Amino acid sequence: MRTLVGAAVVWMLALMGGALAQQRPPESVEADASTRQVAITSSFTGTEILVFGTVENSRQPSPEAGTYDVIVVVEGQAAPAVVREKSRVAGIWINTSSMRFDAVPSYYAIASTRPIDEIAGNALLDAKQIGFDHIHMSPSGSETAEGGAVQTYKQALIRLKEGQGVYVKRDFGVTFIGRSLFRATISLPPNVPVGPLTARVFLFKEGRLLGEYESRVGLRREGIERFIHEFALSQPLAYGIVTVLLAAGAGLAAAFAFRKPA
């Protein structure tokens, strides 16, 4: 009898535990950036933005437990891009072929708790465009090339962007500072293209996507930089004349300042 009662108690406790587990709200992610507006001036030398967030209804016992993975992607507006291949012809290196892509992120930074190929499968990374190899880059309508050639040009473009510092990857750039709090620092180089940035945060657990969050960061010209840019766009002829006059004046001033005595 005691054995039956003990088994019944264990069974009831198991049922209660399962019911409580089912009543737990699912995990989700909430995130934001440390700033919503970055001013680009003539003295801009680059800056950093902090992307931070929290795992709602976290089941992680400690920051080091590794229960969750977080990926942060910050990307700029898509713009056309051309990749050219140089070949040696008659002893001279010249452009012999090229490929134009319709829409390529002007800036792309990715930070994660660990390498992304250890976090999720290629199908999910492709669907969310997470990682350099998973960015959707399609040749323009007039371009015709085999898949292997497209991939070759795509990899070459990514290398160029990395060399310019506008494509950045940090495999361990996201850190948990609590059971649910995490943060990542994203560097913006001096040559970052001006325009809106989109910050996307993805929460994973055991390869499953639990949630994602998106916020915007604006890059805007300010001061003399903004005045010159708007003047060049609104009055191109006047801008060209002023530029020529300034160049001529600078040349005359230099010639006068460094002239040789008679």
Higher-pLDDT residue of 11, 209: 209
pTM given for the model: 0.76
What would the pLDDT profile of 158-176 be if each residue is shown by its tens digit? Answer: 999 999 999 999 999 999 9
Query: Residue 143: CB partners within 8 Å, gap ≥ 6?
Result: 99, 100
User: Comparing C-alpha atoms, which of 262, 254, 211, 172 is closest to residue 53?
Assistant: 211
pLDDT band at 41; cut points 50, 70, 90: confident
| Cα gap 102→157, rounded to integer Å | 13
Q: Which residue has the higher pLDDT, 9 or 250?
A: 250
> What is the spatial distance between Cα 109 and Cα 148, in angstroms, rounded to a whole number?
25
pLDDT of residue 234: 61
Structure tokens at 239: 């801008």
Average model confidence (pLDDT) for the chain? 81
Place of tokens 């160049």: 247
Sheet with 108-112, strands from edge to edge, namely 37-40, 208-221, 196-205, 69-75, 108-112, 167-170
Of the listed ranges 22-31, 143-152, 186-195, the one predicted with least confidence: 143-152
Residue range 76-100: average pLDDT?
81
Report the candidate in 1, 45, 9, 56 with the shortest Cα–Cα distance to residue 189. Answer: 45
Q: pLDDT > 70: what percent of the chain?
A: 74
Above 50 in pLDDT, residue 20? no
User: What pLDDT sits at residue 228?
Assistant: 55
Per-residue pLDDT tens for 61-72? Answer: 998 998 999 999
pLDDT for 224: 53
Query: 41 with 222: CB under 8 angstroms?
Result: yes
pLDDT digits (tens, 9 = 90+) for 130-147: 999 999 988 886 555 566
- Residue 250's pLDDT is 72
